Amino acid sequence: MDVVDGKIKLTWKTSLLTRTLDYEISKCVGCSLCLPCPWEAITLGPVQETASGRIEGAPLVNVDPDICTFCGLCDSSCIYGAFEAKYEAEGAVNEFLRIQGTHEIDEEKCAPCLLCAKVCPTDSLEVEVKVDHKKALVTYKGEEHAEGTIKVDEDKCSYCGLCEILCPEAIKIFWTEEVKPPDFRPAVGIRVDEDYCDYCGLCQDICPDDAIEVRCTEASAREIKQPTITGKLTHIDETCVKCGLCAIVCPYEALKVEKPFTGEVKIPHLEKCDPTGCNNCFNICPVDAIYPTGTADKIAILDHCVYCGACEHSCPYDVLDVQREGYLLDELEREREWERARKLFFDAVIGKEPPPSGLFEREISVEPVQRLQVKTSTQKSWDSEDGERSRAMMSAQRVREMLKKNPRLHLQFERGNTKKVAEEIKNSQEVSQEE
pLDDT tens string 3-62: 888 899 999 999 899 999 999 999 999 998 999 999 999 999 999 999 999 999 999 999
Whether residue 119 is found in the same domain as residue 86: no
Q: Are residues 225 and 121 in the same domain?
A: yes
Alpha carbon distance 43, 313 (integer Å): 12
- Cβ proximity of 319 and 265 under 8 Å: no
Within 158-221, strands assigned E span 171-175, 187-192, 212-219
Q: How many domains does the chain have?
A: 3
The amino acid that residue 417 corresponds to is N
The DSSP H or E segment spanning 166 is helix 162-166
Is residue 217 a part of any domain in this protein? Answer: yes
Is residue 51 domain-shared with residue 161, that is, in the same domain?
no
Distance CA 41, CA 72 (A): 12
Domain boundary among 178, 198, 233: 233
- pLDDT tens digits for range 389-415: 777 777 778 777 877 777 777 777 777
- Which of these three, 99, 132, 151, is where a domain ends? 99
Is residue 104 assigned to a domain?
no
Span between the terminal Cα atoms of the chain, in Å: 86
Angle at 347 between CA 98 and CA 341, to 5 degrees: 65
Instruction: Give the amino acid at 102.
Output: T
d(CA 187, CA 209): 15
Tell me if 375 is assigned to some domain.
Answer: no
Question: What is the residue-level pLDDT of the chain in tens, covering all 435 positions?
Answer: 888 888 999 999 998 999 999 999 999 999 989 999 999 999 999 999 999 999 999 999 999 999 999 999 999 999 999 999 999 998 888 888 999 999 999 999 999 999 999 999 999 999 999 999 999 999 999 889 999 999 999 999 999 999 999 999 999 999 999 999 999 999 999 999 999 999 999 999 999 999 999 999 999 999 999 999 999 999 999 999 999 999 999 999 999 999 999 999 999 999 999 999 999 999 999 999 999 999 999 999 999 999 999 999 999 999 999 999 999 998 877 777 778 888 899 999 999 987 776 666 667 777 776 666 655 555 555 555 555 677 777 777 877 787 777 777 777 777 777 777 777 777 776 656 555
| Cβ neighbours for 32, distance < 8 A, ≥ 6 positions apart | 44, 308, 309, 310, 312, 313, 322
Q: What residue spans of 25-103 are helical by DSSP H?
A: 47-51, 73-77
* Residue 55 shares a structural domain with residue 143: no
In this structure, the answer to whether residues 149 and 70 fall within a common structural domain is: no
User: Does residue 292 lie in a domain region?
Assistant: no
Dihedral angle, C-alpha 20, 24, 29, 31, nearest 10 °: 10
β-strand 212-219 against 171-175: which pairing, if any? Answer: unpaired
Does 124 share its domain with 176? yes
Containing structural domain, residue 425: 395-434
What region, left, alpha or beta, does residue 56 occupy, with left being phi > 0 and alpha being psi -120 to 50 degrees?
beta
Q: Is residue 257 assigned to a domain? A: no
pTM across the whole model:
0.78
Say whether both 142 and 186 belong to one domain.
yes
Do 68 and 1 contact (CB within 8 A), yes or no? Answer: no
Give the ranges where 64-112 is alpha helix by DSSP (H). Answer: 73-77
Last residue within a domain, chosen from 99, 125, 147: 99
- The answer to whether position 369 is within a domain reads no
- For residues 128 and 21, membership in a common domain is answered with no
